[in-house]
Each structure stands twice: as C-alpha cells, then as structure tokens.
C-alpha cells in the first residue's frame, strides 16, 4: 500500500473516532502540503467544521493529536488557518524509497487494451513545419505515455496525398520544372515539391491580377485563371486514372515521402501503419446510405444527404453532395470504420489534430454514435492550439512558415555552439559530441513544445530560438548526466541494495526528493487521463530542480557516513532512472555526459 492511501485510512479512522456523525467521503480532502510549510500531507479542515461543530483550527488539532498518538508514523503536525499539515517520520520515507519503482503497468495478465493514435497527417504538397512539430511530438509522446501505462498502441498517420492542392504542385512542375528531380538538384524531395506549390500560387495570383485589370470580377478571375483551370483538369484526369497523370503523381509523391522519411528519422518518430487519402477518399458512402435507410439521416429534394444535429445544439450537416460525391465528413466516417476493421482489437482512437477542427470532430463522433458504433464514445480528438509567431499566424503561401528541418538544424547548431563555448567537448570523441548536439538540440525543441498544455495556443519566437538554460530539456538532461557522472565515479557496487538502507535524520532536500519521486505514478496516470505530456514535462523539471539543490548543498560521494552516502547514491540512481523514463515519454534522450 502506498503512503497516500495509508495516510488517508488513518485520517478516516481518526475522524470516525472523534466525530459522532458520519463524515462524507468528499469532505475529506487530503492534498500535498505546499512548499513553504512543514509536512507532506495536508488535510483541509474547513469542510469538517460542519461535523465537528468546532473552529477549523480546533478541528485540526483534535485530528492531529489523534494521529500523532495512534498511528506511529506521523511524527508531528502543524495547523495554519484550518490546514492540518502532517509530518511523516523519516524511517517511513526511507522505507518508501526502498519500495519505490517506476514500473506501473502491473496488469500484465489478460489482454492489453488496444488503442490507435493518429498524428502528423501531412499534405504531400509541402514540407513539414513548426505546426507539424507540435503535432508530431505530441502524438508521439501521448503514444508513449499510453503504452507505458500498459496499453497496446497503434500509431498511424493519414497522408493527404490527393486533391486539388496536390495537382497544383504537379501543374507547376510540368510547366516550369524542366524535368528537375531531387537526385540531380540535390534538393530534398518535399522541399522541391513545396517550391512548385509556391510557384503555382505565384503564377495564379499574377493571372488573377491580369484578369482583374481587364475588368473581370475577382470571383470570376479566381475561377477562370488559366493555371487553375489546368489544375482542375488535372484533378479530373487523376480521378479518371489517366496513366500519365498517375505516373507524375506517384513520382512526385515518392519524392515527398523520401523527404518526410528523413525528417521523421531526425525527429525520432515512427508509425505502425500509413493510411493514404487516395485510398480512403471514396469510403463512407455506404455508411451514409445505411444511415439514410435506417432513418438517422435524411435526403433533400436535390438528392443531397444530411444529418440533423440540432438536438445536440449543432446544425444540419451535409454528408453527401447532390451529385452523389463525398465531402470531408464522408471519408472521415469511412476511414474511422475502416480502421476498426483493420484493427479489430482496438477500443478507441485518438486523433491528434489542431483545434481548428474541433467542430468537425464533434460532429464526426456524434454521427458515429448515432449510427450505432459503440466505440465512438472512446474516440478522442487530441486537440492542440496553434503555434503562433510574433508576427501572427503562420501562412505557408505567404512564406511565414518555420520549416521543421531548418528549425531542427538550428537548435542542434545552437547546442553545438553552447557546448563549445563551455569547453565541454574536450574529453569527447567527435561522434560522441555530434550525438550530444543532436540529443540536446532536439531535446530542447521537444521540451519547449511539450511543456505547454496542448490545448493552449502558444507562441514561438524564431529570433530568440530555443533556450538551453532554465526550464528546458537540456537542464533536465544536464541533471541526468551529472548523476551519471557521479555513479560512474562511485562504481556500481557502491549503490546499496534497497534492504540495506537505514533511516536517519533526513535533510529537507532529501525528503523533498523522495516525496517528488513518489509522485511519479500519479503523474503518469494524470498525463494519460488528460492526454497531456506537459504534466510529465512539468514534473520531471521539478524533480531535476530539486535534485540540483541536493547536489549543490549536500555532499554525496564525499559523505563520510557510509549509510548516508549509500542512501544518497541510491536516491541519485532512482532520480536518474525517473528522469530517463520521463524524458523517454517525451521522446527525449538522456545523455550520460554533457
């Protein structure tokens, strides 16, 4: 049994003995003691005054006295303004340290719960950018967290590989590309294709301007611009499976995939299965027809099919056009069902998609539920806020995007410069140094994007780049490498077996660290329930910060008392372990030296 539960039981016992009336569960509020006060567990006594008929302070004293007298492990207490702060004796803390483990998924027996996590979802007409980075790191980290708590996670991405926007790059390449390809030009495939997408837009705008100059209205100009006509014609050809068009499409997409692969590799993320929109965009019609037949949907006179969501406080939503073709919602319905066929074991899906699509997913899940898919209740839109630049929103067509590859390179370079400046590389081999820059740079970037609550929009200033000091990934990595260094010096045999640890009067810092360590399981659980890596990030930062305090103020290796040194080494080792696990959950590596 863990300490929190033990304290709770004792408090409940105390209350039962002291108060004549039965106290409701919800009125027993135990929370971690705030930093500035002594103690580890705090009972909020205000709600109890209803039962005790005494002041909060008197109530607290009654309970405190009882606990100190009867539990044997609560050393003392203090009362401030109706808050009862309990101090647990040090031998209990040492015992807690002995029993502490980072393993939390104990339900190894029985089938694991299966879940699908979708993230990334790129378009094949342009390279990945900062927004994708948040999406990808988030999706990856959430997958890790779910898996850590014992779930079987299938990571997938849906690739937006068709449609008018893809045809735009194709048209521009055909017209202006002069046969250029990634191999000969030495331009990364996704970047090359992206250039043609931009080129298309440029020409398109020019043509619109010319038409407007001739007196054509803006709307008509946008429709009639000759290059846009060509793109539309190409989309029709593509849909008609014209061999030449398909060939070009396949070729250009393959360039993009090679480029993406490099980018994903550097990010350190993988997928278990890829879905292509070109293979799913026609799905979903049968589902819509089923819904129509069963009366869940309705058909208008022009033949279009709709669903009425006004009871749920939403609008009527189109599901199939009057000409019988699909809309976005149609294919998402189809894809959702397809995935449950591909992975019959999964109980739910997590969609990592920006918050501008919140409405879409609300509707999607509602419709799935209406048609009768029970798993719809376990579908979750992992919605995250946009990453803003100081200049405002990123617009790919206006060239204000922060490119993913460039940004990763930049932070790695920054790590390199900072390391050189501190003269830390002298003892490292070239390979080790390069690997370190990579770990640090990406660690800094990932931590930066993950430490913020996913739901909130966040700001990124490319001018200032990513910090390496303070509340950052490298700070945590540094703490880890410090401990690694310490343990190397000590030698493995110096770390005692848990059973050998003896209690002593702990330093405040030591106790604080143990308390922090014990929060690990709770934090992971919380991060899992809220789909929020930021909870892990915040937690591991606090732990590292606390450990650095110990490092700076208390001798570890040079401690003359064998038992104290043993306990501190054991504690250090555990802190390093938790840091490793937490960083791994964030997709960040933990260097042995830096």
440-469 residues near RNA, rule: CB under 7 A: 440, 451-453, 455-459, 461, 467-469
SS3 27: helix
- Residue spans of alpha helices (H) in 118-181: 130-148, 164-176
Contact flag: residue 593 with RNA (CB under 7 A): yes
- Residue spans of alpha helices (H) in 427-561: 430-450, 473-490, 508-518, 520-530, 533-553
Count of residues interacting with RNA (CB under 7 A): 91
User: Which residue in 120, 263, 534, 573 binds RNA (CB under 7 A)?
Assistant: 534
Which tokens go with 53?
Answer: 């008929």
Q: Least CB distance from residue 61 to RNA, whole Å?
A: 14
Residue 110, burial from CB neighbour count under 10 angstroms (0-12, 13-18, 19+): exposed
70-109 residues near RNA, rule: CB under 7 A: 80-83, 85
Contact flag: residue 253 with RNA (CB under 7 A): no
Contact flag: residue 552 with RNA (CB under 7 A): yes
Report the alpha-carbon distance of residue 538 to residue 526 in Å, rounded. 12
Which tokens go with 58?
Answer: 């008197």
Contact flag: residue 44 with RNA (CB under 7 A): yes
Q: Return the number of the residue (273 or 489) whose C-beta is nearest RNA.
A: 489
Report the alpha-carbon distance of residue 540 to residue 519 in Å, rounded. 10
Which tokens go with 165?
Answer: 């926007």
Q: Which residues contact 236 (CB under 8 A, 6 or more apart)?
A: none
Report the alpha-carbon distance of residue 127 to residue 34 in Å, rounded. 47
Contact flag: residue 205 with RNA (CB under 7 A): no
Contact flag: residue 187 with RNA (CB under 7 A): no
Q: Return the number of the residue (346 or 527) whose C-beta is nearest RNA.
A: 527
Contact flag: residue 478 with RNA (CB under 7 A): yes
Report the alpha-carbon distance of residue 373 to residue 447 in Å, rounded. 37
User: Which residue in 127, 284, 474, 587 binds RNA (CB under 7 A)?
Assistant: 474
Which tokens go with 105?
Answer: 């998924």
- 338 and 283 in contact (C-beta within 8 Å)? yes
Contact flag: residue 557 with RNA (CB under 7 A): yes
Q: H or E stretch including 79?
A: strand 74-80
Contact flag: residue 32 with RNA (CB under 7 A): yes
Q: Least CB distance from residue 489 to RNA, whole Å?
A: 5
What is the chain's Cα-based Rg?
30
Q: Return the number of the residue (109 or 311) whose C-beta is nearest RNA.
A: 311
Contact flag: residue 125 with RNA (CB under 7 A): no
Report the alpha-carbon distance of residue 502 to residue 318 in Å, rounded. 69
Q: Least CB distance from residue 573 to RNA, whole Å?
A: 13
Contact flag: residue 527 with RNA (CB under 7 A): no
Contact flag: residue 239 with RNA (CB under 7 A): no
Which of 82, 12, 76 lies closest to 45, judged by CA? 82
Specify which residues 458 forms β-bridges with.
387
- Cα dihedral value 424, 426, 432, 434, nearest 10: 70
Q: Least CB distance from residue 472 to RNA, whole Å?
A: 6
User: Which residue in 172, 346, 418, 576 binds RNA (CB under 7 A)?
Assistant: 418
Contact flag: residue 502 with RNA (CB under 7 A): no
Half-sphere exposure of 499 (CA within 13 A, CB side): 0
Which residue is it, tokens 């300490």? 3
Half-sphere exposure of 337 (CA within 13 A, CB side): 21
Q: How many residues does the chain have?
A: 594
Contact pattern for RNA over residues 390 through 409, marking x by CB under 7 A: ---x----------------
Q: Return the number of the residue (57 or 90) whose C-beta is nearest RNA.
A: 57
Which tokens go with 319?
Answer: 């599901």
End-to-end CA distance of the chain: 39
User: Which residue in 1, 22, 25, 36 binds RNA (CB under 7 A)?
Assistant: 36
Q: Return the number of the residue (138 or 556) whose C-beta is nearest RNA.
A: 556
> For RNA, which stretch binds (CB under 7 A), given 39-47, 181-189, 288-296, 399-407?
39-47
Report the alpha-carbon distance of residue 164 to residue 496 in Å, rounded. 65
138-167 residues near RNA, rule: CB under 7 A: 160, 163-164
Contact flag: residue 236 with RNA (CB under 7 A): no
Contact flag: residue 538 with RNA (CB under 7 A): yes
Q: Return the number of the residue (181 or 383) whose C-beta is nearest RNA.
A: 383
Q: Least CB distance from residue 305 to RNA, whole Å?
A: 9
- 560 and 406 in contact (C-beta within 8 Å)? no
Q: Return the number of the residue (324 or 372) whose C-beta is nearest RNA.
A: 324
Contact flag: residue 432 with RNA (CB under 7 A): no
> For RNA, which stretch binds (CB under 7 A), given 35-43, 112-120, 218-226, 334-342?
35-43
User: Which residue in 169, 352, 472, 573 binds RNA (CB under 7 A)?
Assistant: 472
Half-sphere exposure of 582 (CA within 13 A, CB side): 36
343-372 residues near RNA, rule: CB under 7 A: 355-360
Which tokens go with 418?
Answer: 């900072």
> For RNA, which stretch binds (CB under 7 A), given 172-180, 222-230, 526-534, 573-581?
526-534
Contact flag: residue 484 with RNA (CB under 7 A): yes
Report the alpha-carbon distance of residue 329 to residue 311 in Å, rounded. 19
User: Which residue in 89, 96, 223, 548 binds RNA (CB under 7 A)?
Assistant: 548
Q: Least CB distance from residue 408 to RNA, whole Å?
A: 16
User: Which residue in 111, 213, 422, 499 binds RNA (CB under 7 A)?
Assistant: 422
Contact flag: residue 255 with RNA (CB under 7 A): no
313-332 residues near RNA, rule: CB under 7 A: 313, 315, 318, 321-323, 326-328
Whole-number Cα distances in Å, 199 to 174, 177, 204, 463: 12, 10, 8, 27
Contact flag: residue 33 with RNA (CB under 7 A): yes
Q: Return the number of the residue (213 or 422) whose C-beta is nearest RNA.
A: 422
Contact flag: residue 176 with RNA (CB under 7 A): no
Which tokens go with 258?
Answer: 């090679």
Q: Return the number of the residue (177 or 438) whose C-beta is nearest RNA.
A: 438
């Amino acid at each position: 049994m863990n300490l929190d539960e033990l304290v709770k039981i004792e408090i409940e016992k105390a209350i039962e003995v002291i108060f004549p009336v039965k106290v409701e569960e919800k009125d027993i509020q135990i929370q971690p003691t705030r930093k500035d006060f002594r103690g580890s567990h705090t009972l909020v006594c205000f709600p109890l005054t209803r039962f005790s008929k005494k002041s909060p302070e008197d109530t607290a004293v009654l309970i405190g006295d009882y606990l100190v007298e009867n539990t044997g492990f609560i050393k003392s207490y203090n009362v401030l303004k109706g808050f009862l702060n309990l101090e647990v004796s040090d031998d209990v803390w040492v015992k807690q340290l002995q029993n502490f483990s980072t393993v939390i998924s104990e339900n190894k027996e029985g089938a694991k719960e299966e879940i699908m996590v979708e993230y990334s979802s790129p378009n094949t007409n342009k390279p990945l950018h900062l927004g994708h980075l948040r999406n990808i790191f988030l999706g990856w980290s959430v997958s890790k967290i779910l898996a850590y708590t014992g779930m079987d996670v299938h990571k997938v991405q849906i690739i937006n590989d068709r449609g008018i926007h893809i045809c735009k790059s194709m048209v521009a390449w055909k017209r202006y590309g002069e046969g250029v390809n990634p191999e000969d030009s030495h331009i990364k495939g996704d970047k090359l294709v992206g250039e043609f997408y931009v080129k298309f837009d440029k020409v398109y705008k020019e043509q619109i301007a010319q038409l407007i100059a001739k007196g054509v209205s803006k709307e008509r100009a946008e429709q009639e611009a000759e290059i846009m006509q060509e793109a539309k014609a190409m989309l029709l050809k593509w849909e008609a499976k014209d061999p030449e068009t398909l060939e070009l499409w396949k070729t250009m997409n393959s360039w993009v995939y090679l480029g993406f692969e490099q980018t994903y590799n550097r990010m350190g993320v993988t997928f278990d299965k890829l879905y292509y929109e070109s293979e799913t965009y026609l799905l979903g019609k049968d589902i819509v027809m089923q819904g129509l037949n069963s009366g869940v949907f309705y058909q208008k006179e022009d033949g279009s099919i709709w669903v009425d969501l006004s009871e749920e406080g939403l609008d009527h939503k189109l599901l199939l056009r009057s000409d019988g073709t699909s809309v976005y919602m149609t294919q998402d319905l189809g894809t959702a069902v397809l995935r449950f066929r591909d992975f019959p074991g999964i109980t739910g899906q997590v969609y990592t998609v920006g918050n501008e699509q919140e409405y879409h997913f609300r509707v999607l899940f509602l419709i799935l539920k209406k048609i009768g898919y029970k798993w719809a209740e376990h579908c979750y839109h992992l919605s995250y806020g946009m990453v803003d630049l100081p200049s405002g929103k990123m617009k790919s067509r206006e060239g204000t995007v922060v490119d993913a590859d460039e940004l990763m390179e930049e932070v790695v370079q920054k790590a390199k410069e900072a390391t050189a400046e501190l003269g830390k590389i002298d003892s490292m081999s070239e390979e080790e140094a390069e690997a370190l820059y990579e770990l640090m740079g990406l660690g800094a970037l990932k931590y930066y994007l993950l430490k913020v609550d996913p739901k909130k929009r966040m700001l990124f200033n490319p001018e200032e780049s990513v910090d390496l000091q303070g509340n950052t990934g490298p700070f945590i990595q540094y703490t880890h490498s410090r401990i690694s260094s310490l343990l190397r010096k000590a030698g493995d045999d110096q770390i005692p077996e848990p059973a050998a640890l003896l209690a002593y009067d702990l330093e405040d810092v030591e106790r604080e660290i143990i308390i922090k360590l014990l929060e690990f399981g709770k934090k992971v659980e919380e991060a899992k329930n809220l789909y929020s890596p930021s909870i892990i990030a915040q937690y591991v930062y606090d732990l590292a910060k606390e450990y650095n305090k110990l490092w700076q103020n208390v001798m570890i290796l040079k401690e003359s008392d064998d038992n104290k040194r043993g306990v501190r080494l054991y504690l250090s080792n555990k802190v390093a372990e938790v840091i490793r696990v937490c960083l791994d959950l964030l997709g960040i590596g933990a260097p042995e030296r830096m």
